[in-house]
Amino acid sequence: MIDPDFLDELDRFEASLDQQTTAIKKGERESPSVGEGLTFSDYRRYAPGDDTRLIDWRLYARTEEFFIKQFEEERNLTVHILLDASASMDFGDETEHKFEFGAKLGLGYAYLVAEEHDDFRFSLFRERHDRIDTGKSTRGEVLALIDRLNEAELDREADFETALSEYAASIRSRSLVVVVTDCIGDLDGLETGLASLARNEVVLVQVLSPDELDPDVAGDTIFEDLESDLSRRTYFGGRLAETYRDRVDTFVDDVSNRAQDLQVAHRLVATDEDFFDAFAAVWIG
């Protein structure tokens, strides 16, 4: 169960990060629309009906032609948090549980974004996405999300391509998208789903248990697949253990390389890390 007390720690955590996270939290968010904003964009020739206050008279003195100054309209930042709720996320004990750890990372984003009076959207996904916030983007909404996340059922497999691509189609303005998942599944589908989001700033947070990265077992062991009824009994040790660790390293590198090709930031987080250290690494980059 997620304890909301960790949010109180984020109040102090936010202050220490304020200067380092300007680009994400408080920087100029520009949009293609033009208006009387704060960021100069370009000139265009004056046309009847244009606001004469926007005429650049210094440029007129040089060219004897009327030009209108255009500005990028400043918009509030919207942060979209997409949290994997498939069965593979239901792994780890109560202090190192993947879904709980990943949920707290997503809630950390939502909390700090709400404190800056920006907007967040929070969704779970499996085969498709399921938005679970009500659009209020307040501290109270974050607390309500904790209750909903504590009641979430973790089941089925993640269909990255469908869930992420369909969500991408719902985003109406350039945003920050935080995808929290173990990345276990079809990596081609994950790549396609991330590509559909890549017109935005995207952070892929890969959450894995230390028992997945380096199992603390030896000898006769039964391994179970959480997303199916498959299990395998084997002797784990020696060459097999080395092969397993090599394959995990290859898997993580493959995810990282695919993300890099798409200019998506990839962060690997192990659930035995101190939460605030892990959140700092994800938040700051």
Helices (H), the chain: 6-17, 22-25, 57-63, 98-115, 139-150, 160-168, 187-197, 210-213, 238-261, 275-284
Q: How many CB atoms lie within 10 A of CB 167?
A: 22
pLDDT in tens, 78-88: 999 999 999 99
- Which structural domains are found in the chain, ordered by start? 6-25+76-284 (3.40.50.410), 30-74 (no CATH)
Amino acid identity, position 218: A
Angle between helices 6-17 and 139-150 (to 10 degrees): 130
d(CA 104, CA 208) in angstroms, rounded, equals 14
pLDDT in tens, 122-150: 999 999 999 999 999 999 999 999 999 99
Q: What angle do CA 68, 72, 75 make, to 5 degrees?
A: 150
pLDDT in tens, 162-204: 999 999 999 988 789 999 999 999 999 999 999 999 989 999 9
Q: Is the pLDDT of residue 93 over 90?
A: no
User: pTM value?
Assistant: 0.79
Cα 103 from chain centroid? 11
CA distances from 237 to 72, 85, 214, 218 (A): 60, 31, 11, 6
Confidence band for 25, pLDDT divided at 50, 70 and 90: very low
d(CA 41, CA 30) in angstroms, rounded, equals 10
DSSP state, residue 262: T
Identify the burial level of 226 via C-beta atoms within 10 angstroms of its C-beta, where 0-12 means exposed, 13-18 middle and 19 or more buried: middle
Q: How many CB atoms lie within 10 A of CB 8?
A: 9
Amino acid identity, position 229: D
More confident residue, 14 or 119: 119
